Structure 1
Amino acid sequence: MANSSQKKIAHENGKMLLSLRKGFIWVNAFYILYRIVYHWSTFSFKLAVAYLLTAGLSVLLYSQIHKIGQPRYNSKGELNDAGMDLTQEGLVQYAFDIIYVTWFVHVTSAFWGKMWWFYLAIPLYAAWKGYELAVKPMLGRTGGMPGLANSGAAAGSGEPVKSKRREKMEKRAEKGPQVRYR
């Protein structure tokens, strides 16, 4: 038996999956009707390959999102597992972003074929994010992964960063043992 938070997650996941399904139908129907049917004379083999590859990628990502976000019920119809929360940060959000960029490219490239170049935003963003999270902290610069900026040494001084509590304890230790009278 699931609690109310699990039911809320299942409900939100269901709404998100439904909106993704509707988006796929509308975007692909628009592209096929407007670009392929209405402007058949300008539709080339290269555009067909690009459309099929990007549509296939978005379908693959949708199937993965559907698999991890689909709620599971037992034989009595009670919620066993709400699935993964699709609103949380991480790889699922990147999958959503790739799907949305694909939809944007499909809709805008129906009007102007050069919009396929916008699809380069995905690998450029991945390269920048990889640099920020992996390469930049290894180079010894501050920034990048949270928590790495204050660990180790202060910026450029070479001394370890101490908390105020630690500094206070060291000052007390320098004074020596204190004798307290009642």
Structure 2
Amino acid sequence: MAKGSQKRIAGQNEKAVKNLRLGMIVPTILSIVLRLIFRRSSLPPSKGALAIYILTYLPALFLSRYLENIGTSRRDPTTGTLISSGEDLNQSGVTEWCFDILYVTWGCQIGSGAFGEWVWYLYLVIPLYAFLKLWTSFISPMVLGRSSAPPSEETTEKETLSKRQEKLRKRGERGDPRVRASRK
């Protein structure tokens, strides 16, 4: 029998997978409809616009299939009981980044249909963010080195004191009789 948390994760994953499947269809349809409404002169799209669309759709398709595979729950075919809830699609890290890439792709698809091909420049947010993460996590510490300045006394004292110890210290500074009685 599955535990409550596995059932909760399985339910959340089923909703997320359903939204992923809709998310791969709806932005394409919206892009075409918005192009028909606002930018009829851009029909049919240029070869460059189609190339950009295909080049960004393929990674989005790969990522959505990946998320569907890891998030799909497995059930016993005869009894319908939950065997595995799949990976939690609400976890942070790589899963979260996959969703971010999908959201940026879908936004650029819809935006290019409504406003023009310049919206695809917003797709550059993805490699810029990846470079920022690489820089702050790996490159900068290796190239520039760690900070060699010793921490000040004040910061080390605050780090070592718990909240309770900090309260007692402040009470003692004020002359609270409860603190004096406890120290005797």
TM-based fold match above 0.5: yes
Q: 2:132 maps to which residue?
A: 128
In structure 2, distance between residues paired with 1:122 and 1:36: 28
Gaps of 5+ in 2: 162-184
Deviation at 1:133, TM superposition (A): 1.0
> Do the aligned partners of 1:35 and 1:43 also contact (CA within 8 Å) in 2?
no
Q: Which gives a bigger RCO, structure 1 or 2 (Cα 8 Å, sep 6+)? A: 2
TM-score by length of 1: 0.74
Aligned equivalent of 2:116, options 112, 127, 137: 112
Gaps of 5+ in 1: 143-154, 166-182
User: Any idea what SS the aligned residue of 2:88 has?
Assistant: coil
Deviation at 1:164, TM superposition (A): 5.5
User: Any idea what SS the aligned residue of 2:83 has?
Assistant: strand
Larger helix percent = 2
Amino acid at match of 1:108: G
Percent identical residues: 35
Residue 141 in structure 1 maps to residue 146 in structure 2: yes
Alignment of 1:18-167 (within 5 A): 18-35=18-35, 38-41=40-43, 43-75=45-77, 76-110=79-113, 111-138=115-142, 139-142=144-147, 155-157=148-150
In structure 1, distance between residues paired with 2:129 and 2:160: 39
In structure 1, distance between residues paired with 2:150 and 2:42: 66
Deviation at 1:136, TM superposition (A): 2.4
Q: How many residues align?
A: 152
In 2 relative to 1, CA 5–164 (structure 1 residues): closer, same or farther, beyond 3 Å? Answer: closer
